[in-house]
Amino acid sequence: MQYNVKIDAFEGPLDLLLHLINRLEIDIYDIPVAQITEQYLIYIKTMTELKLDVASEFLVMAATLLAIKSKMLLPKQEEVLFEDEYEIEEDPRDELVEKLIEYRKYKEAANDLKQLQEERGLMFTKPPSDLTEFAKDKKPEKDERNVSLYDMLAAFQKLMRRKKLQRPVATKIARQEISIEARMTEILDELKTFSGRKSFYDLFPNPEKIHLVVSFLAILELIKRNDILVEQEENFGEIFVEAVLKGAEVVGNY
């Protein structure tokens, strides 16, 4: 069975590295290359398992990290220039750190501009209208999302580990092919019927790997279409999913 989904949330390898640095609470000026490389490769492997197109720059960064890691393992050499004068080798991480700091500046500036745009979007020149009759039927919308794609990938990694540990030693599961569109419909119907927040892990009842992958991609596509909301109350905490009720659905439920 083929399943191809295009995800536009990846901003590049530097964005992924910054996410890992923040998540692991690492000093950007003193990056433990072995640890960051291991985590980076785990994310690349997860993207590959999900059949997501891994852009070439992600692979180039992986090769760069491995090269830096190799240089860090070599003993430092001091070159004698003149008597009592030595030249110490440059830190192989310097160039990467410089790029990350520069990228972080632009990312923070972009976030500031986005916030200004959102604040400006709240200002209207149209005279206020009387919306009293709709107030009791309108459910407040939740526009803020505090869960990134990287958080979703981390949750999926944890899910795969859980399923692997819970899997019996010998089992036989009948293979059942399902499309992403069909799985999206099932998940959305399940969330609407449940009428409330549901744990991310509860949306993966079938332990078969292909079903886990299809379900995960279906959830990503539903997020992209603004059909569901995902929330995380604290860093590294459990992720909850909720259906977005629109138009007639809101009126029909009240």
Strands (E), 4-153: 78-80, 86-88
Residues 120-172: pLDDT tens digits?
A: 877 766 666 666 666 555 454 544 456 777 888 888 888 888 777 666 545 55
Residues 98-128: pLDDT tens digits?
A: 999 999 998 888 888 888 888 887 776 666 6
d(CA 240, CA 146): 11
Provide the β-strand partners of residue 231.
Answer: 240
Task: Note the pLDDT of residue 247.
Answer: 57
Count how many Cα atoms sit within 13 Å of the Cα of residue 253 in the half-sphere of its side chain. Answer: 15
* 40 neighbors 69 (Cβ within 8 angstroms): no
Task: Note the pLDDT of residue 22.
Answer: 87
**% of the chain at pLDDT higher than 90:** 19
Q: Between residues 55 and 187, which one has the greater pLDDT?
A: 187
Q: Which domains does the chain have, with CATH numbers?
A: 1-76+90-130 (no CATH), 145-254 (1.10.10.580)
Task: Note the pLDDT of residue 184.
Answer: 93
Task: Note the pLDDT of residue 209.
Answer: 85
* 216 neighbors 201 (Cβ within 8 angstroms): no
Q: Between residues 96 and 51, which one has the greater pLDDT?
A: 96
Beta carbons within 8 Å of 89's beta carbon, 6+ residues apart:
76, 77, 78, 79
Residue 86 has pLDDT above 60, yes or no: no
d(CA 132, CA 123): 20
d(CA 5, CA 52): 7
d(CA 119, CA 117): 5
Rg, C-alpha atoms of the chain: 24
By CB atoms closer than 10 A (0-12, 13-18, 19+), residue 208 is middle
d(CA 104, CA 107): 5
Task: Note the pLDDT of residue 1.
Answer: 37
For residue 139, what is the DSSP state? P
Task: Note the pLDDT of residue 248.
Answer: 47
* 43 neighbors 61 (Cβ within 8 angstroms): no
Residues 205-251: pLDDT tens digits?
A: 888 888 889 999 999 999 999 999 998 877 778 889 999 877 545 44
Per residue in 95-120, is it b (16+ CB within 10 Å) or e — as a string?
ebeeebeebbeeeeeeeeeeeeeeee
